[in-house]
A and B are shown apart, each in its own frame.
Chain A
């Protein structure tokens, strides 16, 4: 494995992490409760509905994983520096917002990519904007995960409401950093 190219995707892997364990406990309790309250027919009904949803998600999830893996290789360091580097100003925040909207993948991929950006010279405000944008208005997440549950209308409306938030987050980080800097130079 070329250490340079695989680096952005490197992470700790465990078969069961503790959010998954918490989830299993919650799901187990909910499932038992439904079985106890509504009986086996309703229980199986829920299982079949979810199996459908699960199968329809799989090709999209695989596509998202492959895109993230390819992008990690294709994104050149100089481009990142030029677009979202320390001197990128408001443009850097807008570019990060847009990147968050189109970047695919899960937290497994977005955090390593953001960390790699910072390592390659992106400023912190740009990295925070990227994460916020991906998590709130990222299209891949919206389309793959949110729409199957909440429907097009609600999700489209939520998306519009959340549109300015990544920009605000980036500006907040800049303001906080500025205050920290003036405090440090004053003392």
Chain B
């Protein structure tokens, strides 16, 4: 249900923005619409691999291993392990969330999962190399990485304080 509402809301935004672009110029609308669709087609196989893969990764992860190393009693060591694992995970659209979900099902503690997904979202090293460095000025990238270093630890600490509902 919430899924349907969200989808409708997203498409209302598309229609509203599309209307604004059409009003400015029709060729511009056609051109940008085309670039949006080609972006979508470019993403499509990656999403398919990511989604299919997530199920298999979740099914393959040994639950006792996850529970032992990332369980709620694993404390700081579990959090550091989770952060390293997050940074090393490739930055595809779903991999990090899929592994988070698998880890939660396998018995990982919530702060550890937060540390993992935060580190993945911020660093995802392969993404850094393949998208960010070619597109952004190098100075911005390194400042961003430097400023991001403490964030997964802060997130995990906040998660411990604000214990999960």
- Residues on A facing B (Cβ under 8 Å): 1-2, 5-6, 9, 11-13, 17-20, 22-24, 26-27, 29-31, 33-34, 37-38, 42, 46-47, 49-51, 53-54, 56-57, 59-74, 104, 106-109, 111-112, 114-115, 118, 124, 127-128, 131-132, 135-136, 140, 143, 145-150, 152-154, 157-158, 160-162, 164-165, 168-170, 172-173, 176-177
B85 within 8 A of A: no
B52 within 8 A of A: yes
Q: Is the CB of B55 within 8 A of A111?
A: no
Given contacts A34-B60, A158-B114, A161-B155, contact A132 B148 (CB under 8 A): yes
Bound-state Cα–Cα, A29 to B59, Å: 12
- Residues on B facing A (Cβ under 8 Å): 2-3, 6-7, 10-11, 13-14, 17-18, 20-21, 24, 28, 31-33, 35-37, 39-40, 42-44, 46-57, 59-60, 90-95, 97-98, 100-101, 104, 110, 114, 117-118, 121-122, 126-127, 130-132, 134-137, 139-140, 143-144, 146-148, 150-151, 154-155, 158-159, 162, 164-165
Q: Is the CB of A149 within 8 A of B100?
A: yes
Which residues does chain B contribute within 8 Å of A106, judged by CB atoms?
43, 93
**Given A26-B95, A66-B33, A128-B143, 8 more pairs with CB closer than 8 A:** A18-B126, A27-B52, A54-B52, A71-B17, A107-B127, A161-B159, A162-B114, A177-B143
Q: Is the CB of A20 within 8 A of B137?
A: no
Q: Is the CB of A157 within 8 A of B60?
A: no
- The residue that B43 contacts in the complex, of A65, A67, A73, with Cβ under 8 A, is A65
Q: Is the CB of A152 within 8 A of B2?
A: yes
Which residues does chain B contribute within 8 Å of A22, judged by CB atoms?
90, 126
Q: Is the CB of B104 within 8 A of A150?
A: yes
Bound-state Cα–Cα, A80 to B17, Å: 18
Given contacts A23-B95, A62-B37, A132-B151, contact A2 B121 (CB under 8 A): no
Residues of B contacting A: mostly = helix
Which residues does chain A contribute within 8 Å of B7, judged by CB atoms?
59-60, 63
- The residue that A135 contacts in the complex, of B46, B94, B121, B154, with Cβ under 8 A, is B121
Which residues does chain A contribute within 8 Å of B130, judged by CB atoms?
17-19
5 closest A-B pairs (Cβ-Cβ)? A27-B53, A69-B36, A172-B147, A70-B17, A66-B36
Given contacts A24-B49, A118-B137, A177-B143, contact A1 B165 (CB under 8 A): no
Which residues does chain A contribute within 8 Å of B127, judged by CB atoms?
19, 107
- Chosen A-B contacts, 16 in total, with CB atoms closer than 8 Å, are A27-B49, A30-B59, A31-B53, A33-B60, A67-B36, A69-B33, A107-B91, A118-B137, A128-B144, A145-B94, A149-B101, A153-B165, A154-B110, A157-B162, A165-B118, A173-B146
Bound-state Cα–Cα, A162 to B113, Å: 13
> A4 CB to closest chain B CB, in angstroms?
11
Which residues does chain B contribute within 8 Å of A170, judged by CB atoms?
147
Which residues does chain A contribute within 8 Å of B114, judged by CB atoms?
158, 161-162
- The residue that B117 contacts in the complex, of A1, A65, A158, with Cβ under 8 A, is A158
Nearest residue (CB) in B for A102 is B13
Bound-state Cα–Cα, A68 to B7, Å: 16
Q: Is the CB of A65 within 8 A of B55?
A: no
